[in-house]
Structure 1
Amino acid sequence: MSDSAYILQVKTAIETLKNELPSLFETDLSYDIYTKDIYFRDPVNTFKGKFNYRIIFWTLRFHGQLFFTSLYFDLHDVKQTADDTILANWTVRGTLRVPWKACIFFNGYSTYKLTPEGLIYEHIDTWDRQPKEILQQFFRRGDK
């Protein structure tokens, strides 16, 4: 792959992430910027394969609509930080569908690794707090 084709593919990946991530709780992703054997890891999940990757986002949408009255993925920044790396900074926030209107809030970042063809083969999420601490937010009364 030529350098210009690689640069174009990376730009496409960045633009796709910028366009799709903010609505990931409402609409599906396109998945054409990922390899078929993409590796995903966050503090509670680890798996490989595009089918499983699609399932995790379907699960996020399903549980988001089932358990939350509002749920947002605030994308702050997406940029290429190295030749083979894209970094996305974000916040998840929402209100649970419970009488006490518990609020969830945590920050994180996604590190995407790129193949020589500019496709994403690895997606690692890092959160600013432990899953246990996020789960404890479910039992606190909301601000409203």
Structure 2
Amino acid sequence: MQVQQTVDILKADLPTLFEKDISYHIYTKDVFFQDPVNKFKGKINYRIIFWTLRFHGQLFFTEIYFDLHDVSQTTPDTIVATWTVRGTLRVPWKARIFFNGYSTYKLDPEGLIYQHIDTWDRDPGEILQQFLGKGEDVTPG
């Protein structure tokens, strides 16, 4: 698979990951995933994490967005995506969540993604603290 095709698929999939499923044919069956709160291996688990994101996004938020800023090939076997997650929690005080991050995807010789590592700009506990505050205090204005 051509790297540019994988980049294009990520560009199409990521902005709507809270709304609809992503394309799984660009990942190996034993894809490894890690973010600050999860770590697992296998495409079935990878599918579950994206289902969980959609489910919790719809259940706990009145609105939630995955703003994709860039997806680019940084080395022959690496793609990096930069993004922001933002949303409004389904609570009376309309708490907001906002954090930036980047995803590093490693490619095997066939061009399939075998590793996906997410890095966030703050600790998970700090993100959870946003749920307790007023929405207008979270995002830069």
The normalised TM-score by structure 1 is 0.94
Deviations 1:79-134 (A, max 9, x none): 00001000000000000000000000000000000000000000000000000000
The normalised TM-score by structure 2 is 0.95
| Counterpart AA for 1:33 | I
- Distance between the aligned counterparts of 2:126 and 2:114, measured in 1? 29
Question: Which residue in the other structure is 2:112 paired with?
Answer: 119
**RMSD between aligned alpha carbons?**
1.0
Following superposition of structure 1 onto structure 2, how do residues 55-70 of structure 1 map, counting pairs within 5 Å? 55-70=48-63
- Distance between the aligned counterparts of 1:120 and 1:102, measured in 2? 35
Match of 1:91 among 80, 84, 87: 84
Deviations 1:28-81 (A, max 9, x none): 011010000000000000000000000000000000000000000000000000
Structure 1 runs (4+) greater than 4 angstroms displaced: none
Following superposition of structure 1 onto structure 2, how do residues 16-27 of structure 1 map, counting pairs within 5 Å? 16-27=9-20
Q: Specify the SS of the correspondent of 1:51.
A: helix
Percent identical among aligned pairs is: 74
Question: Which residue in the other structure is 1:141 paired with?
Answer: 134
Question: Which residue in the other structure is 1:100 paired with?
Answer: 93
- Distance between the aligned counterparts of 1:142 and 1:21, measured in 2? 24
- Distance between the aligned counterparts of 1:110 and 1:142, measured in 2? 26
